[in-house]
Amino acid sequence: MQIRKYRAKTIRDAVGKVRDVLGPEAMIISTKKVRGNGKNDIFEITAAPAHGGGANEPSSSIADLKAELMSIKEMITLLDHTHGTVERLIWNPAILSLYAKLIRNGVNESYARTFLARTSVFNKPFTHGANNDRAVKIIIEEIKRVIKVNEPFESNGKNRVVAALVGTTGVGKTTTIAKLAAQLMLKARKKVGLVSIDNYRIGALEQIKTYANILGVPCFPAFCRTDLLLALKRMEDRDVVLIDTAGQSQYDLSRIEELRQIIPDDLPITSHLLLSVATTELEMSKTVNNFSPLGFQSYIFTKLDESERHGSILNLLMNRNLPISYITTGQNVPEDIEEAKKDKILRLLLNRN
């Protein structure tokens, strides 16, 4: 592999030189400050052309390096968007790489910096190896502390679990109910019942009834609070009752209030708010705010397959921290659903090399 070193007075200039010579896809192997403490700084970047593994280059050594490699293009994005953080992390390639992954996955820059600041990486002068590894571990632990998960249908003794799925139109409520119902029946051997309080969309009841028929579980419509109470009474023998609701626009507060009137908060009903990671972060946080009268207790993130970047999950948790119960990853019923697990969510946040 052709490895070259480029020096300049600023990181930006050094990166510019690499880009001009090797192109935007070139990989940065390391960055360091070779001289100076503010005034006469000289920065050095070691880089290699893209696809740098030569014919007789063992590809495993490239793979080993890959975790900390960064393309020039990505470095430029970081320099443009992260006001000075890159310069401060120049001595800590492992931490810079972690930081870059968070940013590239769409984690809000100030949140990413908050996590870094919880270790002493910004305050201490350069420290070698082990300390860096420790700092990376601490940052990851801090992120994991923010990620909470729950298991709403886990053996709740003899108590019946009643869960309502709420969220905007088309986010995946009905499909997720079908997936959950099937998984709970087949894997956890639970007796499941369904209720639909979707009185708006034509065909909504048929959609859930079709699933109920396939699974052979009872399904009742509920047009008002009394209907819902009656349906719940008729399904007293069920281990789990899943309530499907009509999709509400996050801006239609009167419809959200209407739903609140039907789902009484004096009953032990857990509400899960569904959020599609394929929507913008702004939409997601608007949804969280406007649905809050419904008192949802956890999140279900849907359509993970439709987005490459999952940083918005962490941004949302930093804003309103609630446990995540499930994630959904496609249209297939019942396969495309997973119980939320901390490590899985963490991997989603760090998935881009």
Ligand X SMILES: Nc1nc2c(ncn2[C@@H]2O[C@H](COP(=O)(O)OP(=O)(O)OP(=O)(O)O)[C@@H](O)[C@H]2O)c(=O)[nH]1
> How many residues touch ligand X (CB under 6 A)?
21
Name residues contacting ligand X, limited to 132-161 (CB under 6 A).
none
Name residues contacting ligand X, limited to 284-303 (CB under 6 A).
302-303
Q: What are the helix (H) ranges across the chain?
A: 11-22, 59-66, 72-81, 85-88, 93-104, 109-117, 129-146, 173-186, 204-215, 225-234, 253-262, 281-291, 311-319, 342-349
The residue with its CB nearest to ligand X is 247
Name residues contacting ligand X, limited to 204-233 (CB under 6 A).
204
Q: Which of the ranges 57-65, 124-132, 220-228, 323-331 carries the binding residues for ligand X, by CB under 6 A?
A: 323-331
**Secondary structure in 3-state letters for 233-255:** HHCCCCCEEEEEECCCCCCCHHH
Phi and psi, residue 94, nearest 5°:
-65, -40
Name residues contacting Mg ion, limited to 156-185 (CB under 5 A).
173-174
Choosing from 191, 330, 338, 351, the residue that interacts with ligand X (CB under 6 A) is 330
353 closest CA partner among 28, 43, 131: 28
Least distance in angstroms from the C-beta of 198 to Mg ion: 6
Binding-site string for ligand X from residue 157 to residue 186, where x marks contact by CB under 6 A and - marks none: ----------x-xxxxxxx-----------
Phi and psi, residue 125, nearest 5°:
-65, 175
**Residue 113 touches which of Mg ion, ligand X, none (CB < 5 to 8 A by kind)?**
none
What is the C-alpha separation between 318 and 303, in angstroms, rounded? 21
CA gyration radius for the chain? Answer: 25
Amino acid at 278: A
* Crossing angle (nearest 10°) for helices 342-349 and 311-319: 120
Binding-site string for Mg ion from residue 77 to residue 116, where x marks contact by CB under 5 A and - marks none: ----------------------------------------
**Residue 234 touches which of Mg ion, ligand X, none (CB < 5 to 8 A by kind)?**
none
* Contact residues: ligand X, CB under 6 A: 167, 169-175, 198, 201, 204, 247, 302-303, 305-306, 328-331, 336
